[in-house]
Amino acid sequence: MRILVANDDGIFAEGIYILSKELQKIGEVIVVAPNSERSATGHAITLHQPLRVEKVKFFDTPIEAYSISGTPADCIKLGVEALLKDRKPDIVISGINNGPNLGTDVIYSGTVSAAVEAAIMEIPSIAISMGTTEITQYNDAAKFVCQIVNQIMNNRDLIDTIININYPTCSREEIKGVKVTTLGVRKYENTFIERKDPRGNSYYWTSGIVAEIEQNQNSDIIALKNNYISITPIDFDLTHFNTFEKIKEWNFKI
């Protein structure tokens, strides 16, 4: 089994290192990841400048690894279509992200977007994130991903489904179990901080805190809050099917 690993925290982040080492136990691992942090880049791809590729030594491992000057989605496109064009990966795994990718935040997430790009290319994919940024270790999450990989390989009909996992940062003993969840809703308060430059012009930092809003009890946000590992299957088809037939009935005039 050939496993392509990416992330949005950068190729030398601890999460991708721990994940890749663990995945070596179940397959051949190739890492293609950004040369620096690309968090919250969503599904952006690079069109107006060249992508630089550098083969790098990946920590203390023999893993084949490439540092890319682009986004997480670039890493998957370039990895599959160029670097691995004669040896297509069986699965793509993105992470382990330093912090959660919950609810509607998955739209902004570079971690999730790498997995989405794989699904578009009909390659099974997983995005794995830690439930908070207060991380003491990634090892348990990495081992859990290996379980999910084996499940996916036994269900080849999941080629266009992204499995989004959020793993609690509490101790192993405090984890209550695993829940299959829906995406919740994430909104933020005080999102922009205004400051002044030396000439008196305004500029803004994007910041803010997560707003407390009512969530569906089956959501990933509630599961993680209660120390469950959250597994959410995601589809890249954004069609609003409940409205589809209604709009077809509109009386359009050309």
Which domains are delineated in the chain?
2-184+216-240 (3.40.1210.10)
Three-state secondary structure call for residue 192: strand
pLDDT of amino acid 94:
98
pLDDT of amino acid 182:
97
CA distance 13 to 37: 9
pLDDT of amino acid 254:
87
pLDDT of amino acid 210:
86
H helices present in the chain, as ranges: 14-23, 72-78, 110-120, 139-153, 220-225, 241-248
DSSP for residue 229: E
pLDDT below 50 — which residues of the chain? none
pLDDT of amino acid 20:
98
Region of 99 (left: φ > 0; alpha: ψ -120 to 50; beta: rest) is left
pLDDT of amino acid 115:
98
Kind of pairing between the strands at 177-180 and 162-167? unpaired
